[in-house]
Amino acid sequence: MPQIDISVVTFPLQGGGLDRFTDPLVQFLTDIANLDAVLLQLLAFGLLLGGVYALTALGLTMIFGVMDVINFAHGVFLVVGMYTVWLVSESLGISPFVGIPIAAVVLFVLGVVVHVLTVEPILEAPQQNQLIATLGVLLIIQSAIEIVFTPDPQQVQLSLGSLQVGGVFIPLGQLYALIIALGTMLAVRAFLNSTDLGRRIRGTADNRDGARYVGINVKRINYLTFGIGAALAGVAGASIALFQRFDPFTGETYLINAFVIVILGGLGSFPGAFVGGLIVGMIQVFGGYYLPGTTAQVLIFLLFIGTLLVKPEGLFGGADA
């Protein structure tokens, strides 16, 4: 038998293993007690990040709410938005801000195409088939981007500088992204609440059969919703591109966090997407600051599981679409 060196054997969470959880907590509590300026800064960053997360989740929750489909391609829709803005500003030499509405249009068309080709034929099939189909779409689009634009990270050339408000540092790129996200969300809310088409979408989300009985063309609502959901992802991606480097695989983290937000906030819920986005944004910023590595993501998953267990309908479950 080989010699076993006991000193090499390490057990998790023993001999200082707990420090990694207690130390950040102690640090966090001390900062709160001292009203450290860093807290305000982190709050600002959390708010800025939460805004774009909320917009990402909004598109997903609309598709989820109206069609009961989990769209795994949502993250890669975001990435298409990023590359659209980048391409527009690189090749045409115009402002990346012009690229944002272009991204919305591109993504709307892409969304409708994806819906008609892959989702519509299997809307009534077992849910795992929809899941696999949208995963297939994810692979196709992601790899196509990788082939055309290489897997290297890209960046939109934009030097916006930053603001200094009472000791809090605010990068302007992120601020504009937040404003765009909030504006888009308000516009979508107005559309859903006060236009005839918006009301039809909400009606379909409430009750598909009922909607059919009162003469709503559910098929048309489906592809409109998928298109709008994809367009929202496009705007979200485009505004993220204003302040962040990206590559063809950036969408994965946003996709997973968007799922968390959708469940956290409540399926198809508008305020839920907003509040959920803020919560996840805050956890990521605070966790990223206090906790080592990507431990913050562990917290987000624990929150996700906790929500599913305690209140699967989400914080704002059953609210309006």
CA 66, CA 153: separation in Å to the nearest integer? 35
CB of 111 to other proteins, least distance (A): 15
Residue 16 is a binding residue for other proteins (CB under 8 A): no
One-letter identity of residue 167? G
CB of 3 to other proteins, least distance (A): 9
Q: Using the rule CB under 8 A, which residue among 7, 35, 93, 126 binds other proteins? A: 126
Residue 305 is a binding residue for other proteins (CB under 8 A): yes
Neighbours of 164 (CB within 10 A): 8
How would you class 318 by CB atoms within 10 Å of its CB: exposed for 0-12, middle for 13-18, buried for 19 or more? exposed
Residue 252 is a binding residue for other proteins (CB under 8 A): yes
Q: Using the rule CB under 8 A, which residue among 103, 178, 263, 280 binds other proteins? A: 263
Residue 127 is a binding residue for other proteins (CB under 8 A): yes
- Scanning 55-63, 77-85, 129-137, 164-172 for contacts with other proteins by CB under 8 A, the matching segment is 129-137
Residue 35 is a binding residue for other proteins (CB under 8 A): no
Residue ranges in 150-217 assigned as alpha helix (H): 172-194, 196-206, 208-213
Pick 99 or 268: Cβ nearer other proteins: 268
Q: Using the rule CB under 8 A, which residue among 144, 163, 165, 186 binds other proteins? A: 144
Residue 308 is a binding residue for other proteins (CB under 8 A): yes
Q: Using the rule CB under 8 A, which residue among 40, 109, 131, 315 binds other proteins? A: 131
3-state secondary structure of 162: strand
Residue 246 is a binding residue for other proteins (CB under 8 A): no
Closest CA to 321 of 38, 8, 65: 65
Helix 37-67, helix 251-265: angle, nearest 10: 80
Positive or negative CA dihedral for 115, 117, 118, 123? positive
Residue 292 is a binding residue for other proteins (CB under 8 A): yes
Residue 163 is a binding residue for other proteins (CB under 8 A): no
Helix 218-240, helix 37-67: angle, nearest 10: 160
- Scanning 87-95, 101-109, 122-130, 168-176 for contacts with other proteins by CB under 8 A, the matching segment is 122-130
DSSP string, 103-152: HHHHHHHHHHHHIIIIIGGGTTS-HHHHHHHHHHHHHHHHHHHHHHH-SS
CB of 182 to other proteins, least distance (A): 27
Across-strand partners of 246?
Answer: 154
- Report the Cα 233 to chain-centroid distance in Å: 8
Closest CA to 64 of 217, 201, 234, 238: 201
Q: Using the rule CB under 8 A, which residue among 25, 29, 105, 121 binds other proteins? A: 121
φ and ψ of 293, to 5 deg: 55, -135
List of residues contacting other proteins (CB under 8 A):
1-2, 4, 8-12, 17, 64, 68, 70, 117-118, 121-122, 125-133, 135-140, 142-144, 146-147, 151, 252, 256, 259-260, 263, 292-295, 297-298, 301-302, 304-305, 308-310, 312
